[in-house]
Chain A
Amino acid sequence: MSGPTLAKNPKSEKKPKMSGTARVAPPESGVTATARAEKALMEGEERFRNIAQTMPAFLFIATPELEWQYVNPAFYQYTGLPEGEGLGSGWLSVLHPDDAREYRRLLALSMQTGSPFELEFRLRDAAGAYQWFLSKAEAITSSTGQASKWFGSCISIDARKMAENRQNLLLTELQHRVKNILAVVRSLANRTAGNAETLDDFVAHFDGRLSAMGRTQNILARTPEGGADLTELVHEELVGHAAHFDDQVDVSGPEIKLRAKPAQTLGLAIHELATNAVKYGALSTRSGHIKVFWRVDKNMGGPRLIFEWRESGVSVIDREPARSGFGRELIERGLPYDLRANTALEFRRGGVRCVIEIPLDDRITIGE
């Protein structure tokens, strides 16, 4: 092989192989051949110019030292640099300073080895903001193996980078949430152990509380950005115990979409109420009934959720002292602390009555 070769284009090297048969076409005159070659060259250049003019990517041709000799108009449109200012090392003026070092490192490497150049970096646009680009360049080598020219491009990868950043943020947030949930689970385990008299007792209570957290997470997972629907939260807790309570339970209220943390806290509180009802309250007897209803009050100050759990038909109220444990603490102290709620929990004739008032803002709910 001789002369400059373009390794990626073997076709230009290939000579037609004729196995001894005579050539049919008459030989061209030298003048015609030159004219045809010039025409082909011009056509080729025009084709290149057309592509380069309309291409949204930046296309550049550079010297062996990667000094730009040509760059297409898209570069000047993006950067706002005057025509010609990008040539030589001029384009480095729009390279993000934090990316310059890595650029020089890879440049030295590519110049030494002739290996393809590839780097993601930020370039400043006409308005002064930086956007991400992926730059690739390949050397065309001469017969001596030295790079004689570089052909390269820069394509915008800003959308991809933003998606990556968002993904990283979500991942960080997810890790944070998982650890928080584990901390709550640990706390629940300790608290449950503190109140349990036997291991079976502990397992039953802990399992119930863990399941309640799981149900809340399921609701949140179904609508990742939409929050947990309060109606669903109440239904899941009651259905979690048994479906046949349908005729004993009345649930009504407007749509409330809770954020993750308030959903978790309120879900646990509702679980404690439901468990109590099954064991000692309205769901421990066929004559019992629970009305769960809520509304949003906008009269005083900001909007407040007023949630009420009202049991009826419970003739004998017993064991109240035994029930002043974890559930009661969660309602009387946990909800006020976590959600700035006002709560009232009464064990009275007919059954439990619990009122929870939560000031609504965008820390508690989504939308509106």
Chain B
Amino acid sequence: MEAAAPASLKNKKVLIVEDQYLIAADLSRAVTILGGVVVGPVASNEAAQAELARSDIDLAFLDINLDEQMVFPLADELEKRGIPFIFATGHEATVLPDRLKSKLRLVKPFTVQAVIEAVRHLNPGR
């Protein structure tokens, strides 16, 4: 797929980590619209790790604060595996540790269009 192509998640497995059902459902809908296959959604780090062990993930959306638990260990794990991810959060970048500050951030409340833009930024050629 070329960078110039429209944002698409066709047949990509997209892990959604978000602790609120309604927001997770919104994200799932956006991923489905883009042709992706939703993995999860899951509401905790542990559940996310389990999904990670079970299936090959192409991309992940991560809420930062999961019931007062920070998602950073999971982000590090994704980084190690070379799986791209996008933070979907109400938090400012200041809460991110330095090593993750440069990561793509989708700021709540977001539209489907914003999800599409974020996916486009991820360099879909990879």
Which A residues are closer than 8 A to B by beta carbons?
Answer: 172, 175-180, 182-188, 190-191, 261, 265, 330, 333-335, 337-338, 363
Residues of chain B within 8 A (CB-CB) of A333 are: 21
Residues of chain B within 8 A (CB-CB) of A176 are: 65, 89-91
Nearest chain A CB to B86 CB, angstrom units: 15
B94 is an interface residue with CB less than 8 A from chain A: yes
Nearest chain A CB to B51 CB, angstrom units: 14
Once A and B bind, how many residue pairs between them come within 8 Å at the CB atom?
65
The proximity string for B residues 82-126 relative to A, scoring 1 for CB distances below 8 Å and 0 otherwise, is 000000011110110000000000011111000000000000000
B68 is an interface residue with CB less than 8 A from chain A: yes
B19 is an interface residue with CB less than 8 A from chain A: yes
B91:A172 contact, CB within 8 angstroms: yes
Given A176-B65, A177-B90, A337-B43, A187 and B23 touching (CB < 8 A)? Answer: yes
B22 is an interface residue with CB less than 8 A from chain A: yes
Residues of chain A within 8 A (CB-CB) of B22 are: 183-184, 187-188, 191, 334
Residues of chain A within 8 A (CB-CB) of B108 are: 179-180, 182-183
B42 closest partner in A (C-beta):
A337
Chosen A-B contacts, 19 in total, with CB atoms closer than 8 Å, are: A172-B92, A175-B90, A176-B65, A176-B89, A179-B90, A179-B108, A180-B23, A183-B108, A183-B109, A184-B22, A185-B109, A186-B109, A186-B111, A190-B26, A265-B20, A265-B21, A338-B19, A338-B21, A338-B43
B109:A182 contact, CB within 8 angstroms: yes
Interface size on B, residues (CB 8 A): 24
Nearest chain A CB to B25 CB, angstrom units: 7
Which B residues are closer than 8 A to A by beta carbons?
Answer: 19-26, 41, 43, 65, 67-68, 89-92, 94-95, 107-111
Docked Cα-Cα span, A188 to B26, in Å, equals: 10
Residues of chain A within 8 A (CB-CB) of B92 are: 172, 175
B109:A172 contact, CB within 8 angstroms: no
Nearest chain A CB to B44 CB, angstrom units: 9
- Beyond contacts A184-B22, A187-B25, A363-B68: 8 other A-B pairs, Cβ-Cβ < 8 A, are A172-B92, A172-B94, A180-B23, A183-B108, A183-B110, A184-B23, A261-B20, A265-B20
Residue of A178, A191, A330, A337 with most partner-chain B CB within 10 A: A337
Residues of chain B within 8 A (CB-CB) of A179 are: 89-90, 107-109
Residues of chain B within 8 A (CB-CB) of A188 are: 22
Main secondary structure of the interface of A (DSSP, over half): helix
Given A172-B95, A186-B109, A180 and B24 touching (CB < 8 A)? Answer: no
Q: Closest 4 A-B residue pairs measured CB to CB?
A: A179-B90, A183-B109, A334-B21, A337-B21
Docked Cα-Cα span, A39 to B23, in Å, equals: 80
Residues of chain B within 8 A (CB-CB) of A172 are: 91-92, 94-95
Residues of chain A within 8 A (CB-CB) of B89 are: 176, 179
Docked Cα-Cα span, A288 to B26, in Å, equals: 37
Nearest chain A CB to B50 CB, angstrom units: 15
Residues of chain A within 8 A (CB-CB) of B91 are: 172, 176
Contact of B23 among A178, A183, A335 (CB under 8 A): A183
B25 closest partner in A (C-beta):
A187
A268 closest partner in B (C-beta):
B22
A184:B95 contact, CB within 8 angstroms: no
Nearest chain A CB to B62 CB, angstrom units: 15
Docked Cα-Cα span, A330 to B22, in Å, equals: 8
Residue of A172, A179, A183, A187 with most partner-chain B CB within 10 A: A183
Docked Cα-Cα span, A191 to B21, in Å, equals: 13
Docked Cα-Cα span, A330 to B20, in Å, equals: 11
Docked Cα-Cα span, A361 to B45, in Å, equals: 17
Docked Cα-Cα span, A151 to B21, in Å, equals: 62
